[in-house]
Amino acid sequence: MIKFESVYLIRNNKEIFSNLNFSVQKNEKVLIQGKSGIGKTTLFKLLLGFEIIDKGRVSFNDLDIGKEHIKNIRSQIFYLSQDIDLKDGRVSDLLDEILEHNVLKNQDKGHFTDLLNFLDLSDKLLDQTIKELSGGERQRIGLLICFLLDRPVWLLDEPTSALDDIMKKKIVDYILDQEKTIILISHDNVWKKNNAVKIERWL
């Protein structure tokens, strides 16, 4: 499904990856843990084509990550960044734009309401702007978008860092129960308590 083969990457005279070999199979859930600066987030950027390797091969379903295939590859991936990079404006307008752009405008309204309730997000929040939201609310809106788009591959960078313990447990159980290929970066120990996740420790 996802393969990094003998990957080398150097940035600003610093070696990020040296002969990295790493793979994730379809529907596998992988948690990557390690200290800051070892390339965890860079791994996601390589998969999305935002960074280019110096040597080696990165592939998605046997397609090389590059200009020829990147549009198709990105359409199959949802990426939740650590800083929850959402365009400012009303929450409802943002959700409408995303759903319309992804041909999900007529998605079951009941499913949308169920997800709002699951994430403990009120209807009133939809009339607020992104800037008015707390860190936890922004994180849950990011997760809501992920769940609505329902893409086959999820790249999640610290997806539960701003949530309380009860919500973290709910989110972890929900995410790891999905038939998706999921790569996680997180320092939250709650992920390690679920046997569905494979842990990769990078030193």
Domain residue ranges of the chain, discontinuous segments joined by + = 1-76+152-203, 88-150
For domain 1-76+152-203, which CATH number applies: 3.40.630.10, 1.10.240.10, 3.40.50.1970, 3.40.50.300? 3.40.50.300
Write down the pTM of the prediction. Answer: 0.94
Complete edge-to-edge strand list for the sheet that includes strand 153-157 = 77-80, 153-157, 181-185, 29-33, 198-201
151, burial (CB in 10 Å: exposed 0-12, middle 13-18, buried 19+): middle
Residues 11 and 125: their CA atoms lie apart, in Å, by 41
Average confidence (pLDDT) over 129-148:
94
Residues 82 and 84: their CA atoms lie apart, in Å, by 6
- Which pLDDT tens digit goes with each residue over 141-151? 999 999 999 99
- Which pLDDT tens digit goes with each residue over 28-46? 999 999 888 889 999 999 9
